[in-house]
Amino acid sequence: MNNNYTFVILTSLGILSGCDQAIQDIANADQNVTETPSISVICEDLQIINEDQYASCSFDVLNEAPLKVEAELVRGVAVEVYFLTDASWQVWYTRAALGQHTSASMPFYQEFSQAPLVTNFDSGWYRLQAGTYHLVIENTDFGNTLPPYNFVNDPATVKYKVSIQSQ
């Protein structure tokens, strides 16, 4: 009888020590969990952009963070998507507003830009410094992608979204 009690006690201790290890594993797993970044949409829209027109989205990035640009040409002619600093935007806007599209050159972030946009574009995530930025989608004579020269309006329907990650 004594052997049966010894067996039960040893078995119980083995199970309890296994439970102890399981509890320790759960505690360690909780310590190793990293926070999932929160993703916020800065701007998102679906717009019809007529020939010789543009759409834009302006926003501030308060702290360095990963950012992503997505764009889709839903219908129409190819357009250009440019991601600009505020200084570049001011140059582009001043010249474009005066109709000087062919001379409205400016530096832009290539990783967030697509010229021409003929289907879909997804930049992936890239870190961006704090600052004021502008996404410009243009259907003008500026740049490498031009609307057809046919004396009719050649619109483009474009869906776009800019997202940012934060912890």
Which value, to the nearest 10 degrees, does the dihedral of the CA atoms of residues 83, 156, 141, 92 take? -30
Q: Which H or E element spans position 77?
A: none
Of 47, 49, 51, the C-alpha closest to 150 is: 51
Q: What is the pLDDT of residue 11?
A: 44
Q: What is the pLDDT of residues 115-129, one digit of tens each?
A: 999 999 999 999 999
- What one-letter code names the amino acid at 83? F
Write phi, then psi, for 165 (nearest 5 degrees): -100, 145
Per-residue pLDDT tens digits for 129-164: 999 999 999 998 877 788 888 999 999 999 999 999
Q: How many helices (H) and strands (E) does the chain have?
A: 2, 9
| Predicted TM-score (pTM) of this structure | 0.75
Residue-wise pLDDT tens digits, 25-74: 545 555 555 678 899 999 999 999 999 999 999 999 999 999 999 999 99
The pLDDT of residue 102 is above 70 = no
